[in-house]
Structure 1
Amino acid sequence: MTIERRAFLKTAAALSAAGSLSSLPFAAARAQVPDVARILAGFAPGGTNDVLSRHIAQQIQGGYAPSVVVENRTGAAGQLAISATKQAAPDGRTMLVVPMAGLAIYPFIYGSLPYDPFKDLTPVSLAGVFDTGLAVGPMVPREVKNVPDFLAWAKANPARASCGSPAAGTPQHFMIELLSRAGGVPLVHVPYRGSQPAVMDTVGAQVAAVAAPVGEFRQQAELGKLRVLATATTRRGKFTPDVPTFAEQGFKGLEFAEWFAVFLPPKASPELVGRLNAELRKALAVPSLIEGVANVGIEARWSSAEDLAARLRGDTAQWGPVVKSIGFKVDS
């Protein structure tokens, strides 16, 4: 082998090694991006949790991972999806879209919860916020136009003073209990398996009223089959600007915010959290996503991971005393 040949091979080898070394950070970053990622949704297809999850999956596919699918891990009021996230590897392949109640309220109502919201999940970002409202159906006379009217009617008709909610232990359930106390009128709480059965029974005059996310009965209200009397918000809702809040009608302490958020399994790296958070920031600003989730009463909302963690702490502190004062527990 000639001297020139040896020199050429040494130079080529050196350049190859340098190229390999320079590509290591990129390779490490690529290693954090899964080929197929899944979003766990704890409720059935077609509901608000599912709709939001599918819009997010569509928007982050390609940027976060080549393929993103939604897996409806239903059961135990959303607990199965949270538990599955807790047990998943922190490699970016598993994400969770979860409503506030499963993290800030469940610890106070379930005697044995299979996860700790603060230790077993890694906050990433808010995904959306939504309002709860009170609506009445045809069982209640047309003359009832506001909350004081409804409470007066309920007091005069105790056998029919019933109000449905998506389930026992939900914010909507507690809203009914708080309204009953504030008005000094017994309201019979009727729990359902989801908002839609409660809404349809109110439309069908099986129950007098329903407390649910406004997106769940928005269509029925627009058709004139339900009348929305109030929202449990600090100010009038984006989707119900003509509906007064409980506070406007003289009922304080019935203001609370509900949200969906995205979490990763425990011990997910800050780099992975940052990557997913950046993808969500872009996704939640896409007009088609904003419009799609608005159809079910959700306002798309991004946040930093730190802001989400602070929000969870604040809501947990708010709901603990409320649940304790009501004294509700689920045997589990």
Structure 2
Amino acid sequence: MTISRRHLIQSTGAGALLAMLGERAFAQAQIETLKIITGFAAGGTSDTTCRRVATRLSPDYAKTAVVENRTGAGGQIAIQYVKGAPADGATMLQTPTSMLTIYPHIYKKLPYDPQADLTPVSLGCVFDFGFAVGPAVPLGVKTVPDFLAWAKANPLGANFGSPAAGSTPHFVGALLGKSAGIELKHAAYRGTQPAMLDLLGGQISAVSGPIGDITQHLPTGKVRILGVSGAKRSRFAPDVPTLTEQGLKDMAYSEWFAFFLPPKAPQDVVARLNAGLKSALASKDVIDGLNGFGLEALSSTPAELSALIKKDTAMWAPIVKSIGFTADA
């Protein structure tokens, strides 16, 4: 699921759309208050992305922009909320890919249709995952194969947390266990930060989550990142080898956050917000702020985002089937 950063960054589709729509795209009355909805807890990468972007969408797109954390059901509650909101441009969703591209394969009945119940606006950022251990794991465990061997010999410690059941980091952890022929028990949290707190407290052995959610805890001295999920080493943790470097074949996964409006949002509203997001994500303060959390700012056209959702949904189908996980079990 490698995203072509250069292709999306160089795209001129958004500008063409704005030119086609003309000045009326910007003549619409300014939004009084924009609500940016995230399905994950404050302090994590999803929340941080929303808050960084909010500072740049006000006052041009909206007089004020606020972030609401509607947590629960692995991000589904936030999506349902936006699905039912008026399509007037005053409510925007920010969500990771998993809720749209993996959940359709693990839930028999989702309370939303990823294709029909949201209006794509733009990508927000891309990032890799880290696999980290805490105080519950001996200091002699220095690599992912080390951890898998230790977990096999210590079944009570063979566990990991992730930000949500059925999320990409959940499947990264599950695939690691499968590669070693062991079951790593999974604990789902409402975001990575709650999982990190339990990792620091020794309640769980490991966490699979966005690299930035992990690196911010490295100063405690209690967290060690054993591997990163990208196709190449992360510039946010350059000394940590990738999973593929450690002999785990076909284990290269990245993820994206993206922004959406409610269904059937008017095209002029989509164009205005897309332009606002593109400008926000290109600003130095937002880029630097996201970098501090291991996130690479990246915008797109609505059409590119829609195509990416379809592509990744198809990619995850055989992976989910091979693991055999279902959220309805």
Asked whether the 8 Å contact 2:34–2:62 carries over to 1, the reply is yes
Asked whether the 8 Å contact 2:74–2:165 carries over to 1, the reply is no
* Alpha-carbon distance, 1:198 to partner: 2.2
**Greater RCO, 1 or 2 (C-alpha within 8 Å, sep 6+):** 2
Match of 1:140 among 134, 137, 140: 137
Alignment of 1:1-332 (within 5 A): 29-31=26-28, 33-331=30-328
* Alpha-carbon distance, 1:232 to partner: 1.1
TM-score, normalised by the number of residues in structure 1: 0.85
Bigger-Rg structure (1/2): 1
Asked whether the 8 Å contact 2:45–2:210 carries over to 1, the reply is no
CA 1:219–1:48 in structure 2 vs 1: closer, same or farther (change >3 Å)? closer
Asked whether the 8 Å contact 2:127–2:254 carries over to 1, the reply is yes
More deviation, 243-252/60-69: 60-69
Asked whether the 8 Å contact 1:162–1:189 carries over to 2, the reply is yes
One-letter amino acid matched to 1:182: S
Matched residue pairs, number? Answer: 308
CA 1:319–1:36 in structure 2 vs 1: closer, same or farther (change >3 Å)? same
Asked whether the 8 Å contact 2:40–2:191 carries over to 1, the reply is no
Asked whether the 8 Å contact 1:133–1:229 carries over to 2, the reply is yes
Residue deviations 1:171-224, cap 9 Å, x none? 222112111111223322233333223222222333222212121221322432
Aligned equivalent of 1:16: none
Q: Distance in 1 between matches of 2:65 and 2:197?
A: 33
CA 1:272–1:141 in structure 2 vs 1: closer, same or farther (change >3 Å)? same
Give the fraction of aligned pairs with identical amino acids, expressed as a percent.
Answer: 51
Asked whether the 8 Å contact 2:83–2:118 carries over to 1, the reply is yes
Asked whether the 8 Å contact 1:140–1:208 carries over to 2, the reply is yes
Asked whether the 8 Å contact 1:55–1:292 carries over to 2, the reply is yes
CA 1:224–1:31 in structure 2 vs 1: closer, same or farther (change >3 Å)? same
TM-score, normalised by the number of residues in structure 2: 0.86
One-letter amino acid matched to 1:143: G
Gaps of 5+ in 2: 1-21
**Could you list the runs of 4 or more consecutive aligned residues of structure 1 that deviate by over 6 angstroms after TM superposition?**
25-28
Query: 3-state SS of the aligned residue for 1:131?
Result: strand
CA 1:27–1:211 in structure 2 vs 1: closer, same or farther (change >3 Å)? closer
More deviation, 321-330/97-106: 321-330
Q: Distance in 1 between matches of 2:24 and 2:264?
A: 21
More deviation, 318-327/226-235: 318-327
Aligned equivalent of 1:17: none
